[in-house]
Amino acid sequence: MMPDMPDGTRVLLTRDEIAARVTVLGAEIERDYAGREPVLVSVLKGGTVFLADLFRAIDLPARVDFMSISRYEESAAPTGVVRILKDLDHDIVGRDVIVVEDIIDTGLTLSYLLGALRQREPASLEVCTLLDKAVRRIAPLEIRYAGFDCPDVFAVGYGLDASERFRNLPFIVAVERSAVASAPELLLPLLTS
């Protein structure tokens, strides 16, 4: 049962819709990487919920590794330049790397990260994102695997946060731009229903 939705919000993707798509993405990766041992790289923290489900949908000897980054938010214009707070635990030289993301918005962060990872000479480097907010793209990116097109709304749940909360919602909610500021309060009833 889906709860009643607060004003300014609507369900973007149900638990079942997400699960079905994740199964398909996992099967595609499994087929494309047959005979290889890909490393799924997740950028903390948004992508971890998706990663956990995707990883279990791939029946290959795959591995996971994590990075944590911080954006330089003081600068007026976003550049995508980030500081690495936690680097990968293992070398990726000669490995088949798949960066697993929750959502790609402007693409600035990811395009900077991909540049940094490419310098480490992986055998291959691809991107798998659950949501692709293509209308907002600034940095052109080649996305090999995309779960769903995302409209220009603020998406929350299934790993995506509003001020660090609601990552544990099992479905994804779209919050209208005008309601984003009050999103944390608006969404609270969804956690208790």
Q: Pattern of binders to ligand IMP over 114-143, x per CB under 6 A?
A: ------------------------------
105 included as an active-site residue: yes
Q: Pattern of binders to ligand IMP over 10-49, x per CB under 6 A?
A: ------------------------------------x---
92 lies in the binding site for ligand IMP (CB under 6 A): no
106 lies in the binding site for ligand IMP (CB under 6 A): yes
Backbone angles phi, psi at 112, to 5 degrees: -65, -45
- Beta carbons of 88 and 66 less than 8 angstroms apart: yes
- Beta carbons of 63 and 122 less than 8 angstroms apart: no
What is the spatial distance between Cα 8 and Cα 176, in angstroms, rounded to a whole number?
5
What is the spatial distance between Cα 28 and Cα 58, in angstroms, rounded to a whole number?
9
Q: 34 vs 29, 39, 127, 132, CA distance in Å?
A: 8, 13, 17, 26
Q: Which candidate, 114, 113, 112, 148, places its Cα nearest to that of 133? A: 148
Of the residues 105, 132, 149, 152, only one is catalytic, namely 105
Q: For the chain, state the CA radius of gyration.
A: 17
Residues 35-64 within binding reach of Mg ion (CB under 5 A): 46
Nearer to Mg ion, 100 or 187 (CB): 100
Query: What's the closest the beta carbon of residue 51 comes to ligand IMP, in angstroms?
Result: 13
Nearer to ligand IMP, 6 or 107 (CB): 107
67 lies in the binding site for ligand IMP (CB under 6 A): no
159 lies in the binding site for Mg ion (CB under 5 A): no
The secondary structure of residue 84, as a DSSP letter, is: E
> Contact residues for Mg ion (CB under 5 A)?
46
Residues acting as catalytic residues: 105
